Amino acid sequence: MKVLLVGSGAREHAIAKALSRSPQEPRIFAYMSTPNPGIIRLAEGWIEGGLNDLPSLVRYAQRVRPNLVVFGPEEPLAAGAVDELEERGFSCIGPRRILARLEADKCFMREFMARYIGRGFPKWWVFENLGTLHAHLLSHPNSVLKPVGLTGGKGVRVLGRQLTNVMEAIEYARPYLEREGKILVEEKLTGEEFSLMVFTDGKKVVPMPLVQDYKYAREGDTGPMTGGMGSYSCADYLLPFVSQKDFETALGIVEETVKKLEEALGIPYRGVLYGQFIQTQSGPVVIEFNVRFGDPEAINVLSLLESDAVDVFASIAAGDLVEDVRFSHLATVCRYLVPRGYPDAPETGVLFSLPLEKLSLAGIEVYFGSVQEVNGQFSTTASRSVALLSRRATPQEAKHALDEALADYTVPLYWRRDIPRLL
């Protein structure tokens, strides 16, 4: 069994680790935008290439001839990589381009939910010029601005938080309106956010354990938005602020979305669908949908996956998802170590080392992100460097294990010590 993995971050390292645990001993190949030291250690072969360079990806697939192609990031999915590969006979884990619009076009997502789902979304508006946007924001101070296209999880701005006044909001929106022709504005909701990811073959939907992600760069949920500074999950697969009833409501929205996508677009959604929810007083509300594993959430859930990842992925591609997907009943805590100054002005080219053996003995798993390996050391780039994960009986125990592992660790990187902020 040959598997081609597309992507180069810690999320993709987690996918590669899950595949490598399979008793089928798959031969792993990787197409990466930058060389990931962890993936390279697990892969039989790899190549460096742009995530949107579909001709390069197709050529590598034709050279490797994989049985499965597994996607980590959203960029190639939005560009139509699955369309290109499936038309050449390759089985893919990920949606076609028209389905990937659910993440790549936030206006499409809101319009789809309003038309076909009818619940689980906030009030929202689309603006195509600065004048009408300005008038709206003056009368709606509790607003959230969202660029329509992909921003790597860093595009959302809240009026009154990252944007201190209406004029700042207008200047933030200006380049997006010029480039994309529109911008999405939503009502600001209050509550705790959570991630619900599912495996689906377009018919059956199998949920993964719930995860809470921490987007803000600094402790106390302050600072700029990032791609995610860390995350945690609980042994019962829920979260302290999500009841079984609310979980079932959120899952029902995801299941209905999978069903309605095929009805509306004529193509089954096969892959991972990730609903980002906020738990409000009236129940869970969809903040956004993503068409792939979350990062870092994938690290939490894939570390718990007991089922054979090859079987799970192959069954999705075959349109007959195995229903008995098993996860360990353990809690997890994941923290990213990032360059100082991340995300606005990260220090690049800074060398650091990791006590890999000591961390392993302490039961801490290491997932490499955006780093380069240089003579046994690692060098920072402009994004998140390394994710550390602890699995224990409770989130408190997992947090304590990470705290102990990092207590005497002097390294030119930054991490949030308050992950998780347990309620």
Cα–Cα distance, 173 to 230 (Å, whole number): 28
The segment(s) of the chain belonging to CATH 3.30.470.20 are 192-317
Cα–Cα distance, 168 to 133 (Å, whole number): 12
> pLDDT in tens for each of the 423 residues of the chain?
999 999 999 999 999 999 999 999 999 999 999 999 999 999 999 999 999 999 999 999 999 999 999 999 999 999 999 999 999 999 999 999 999 999 999 999 999 999 999 999 999 999 999 999 999 999 999 999 999 999 877 789 999 888 999 999 999 999 999 999 999 999 999 999 999 999 999 999 999 999 999 999 999 999 998 999 999 999 999 999 999 999 999 999 999 999 999 999 999 999 999 999 999 999 999 999 999 999 999 999 999 999 999 999 999 999 999 989 999 999 999 999 999 999 999 999 999 999 899 999 999 999 999 999 988 899 999 999 999 999 999 999 999 999 999 988 878 999 999 999 875
pTM equals 0.96
Rounded to 5 degrees, φ, ψ at 284 are -75, 140
Q: What is the 3-state secondary structure (H, E, C) of the chain?
A: CEEEEECCCHHHHHHHHHHHCCCCCCEEEEEECCCCHHHHHHCCEEEECCCCCHHHHHHHHHHHCCCEEEECCCHHHHHCHHHHHHCCCCCEECCCHHHHHHHHCHHHHHHHHHHHHCCCCCCEEEECCHHHHHHHHHHCCCEEEEECCCCCCCCCEEECCCECCHHHHHHHHHHHHHHHCCEEEEECCCCEEEEEEEEECCCCEEECCCEEEEEEEECCCEEEEEEEEEEEECCCCCECCECHHHHHHHHHHHHHHHHHHHHHHCCCCCEEEEEEEEEECCEEEEEEEECCCCCCHHHHHHHHECCCHHHHHHHHHCCCCCCCCCECCCEEEEEEEEECCCCCCCCCCCEECCCHHHHHHCCEEEEECCEEEECCEEEECCCCCEEEEEEECCHHHHHHHHHHHHHCCCCCEECCCCCCCCC
What distance, in Å, lies between the first and last C-alpha atoms of the chain?
Answer: 44
CATH tag for 192-317 (out of 3.40.50.10540, 3.30.365.10, 3.40.1350.10, 3.30.470.20): 3.30.470.20
The segment(s) of the chain belonging to CATH 3.90.600.10 are 331-414
The segment(s) of the chain belonging to CATH 3.40.50.20 are 2-96
Superfamily of domain 123-187: ATP-grasp fold, A domain (3.30.1490.20)
CATH of span 2-96: 3.40.50.20
Domain 331-414 has CATH 1.10.3720.10: no
Q: How far is CA 146 from CA 177, 197, 251, 355, in A?
A: 11, 22, 24, 40
Burial status of residue 180 (CB atoms within 10 A of its CB: 0-12, 13-18, 19 or more):
middle
In terms of DSSP bridges, do strands 68-71 and 92-93 run parallel, antiparallel, or are they unpaired?
Answer: parallel
The segment(s) of the chain belonging to CATH 3.30.1490.20 are 123-187
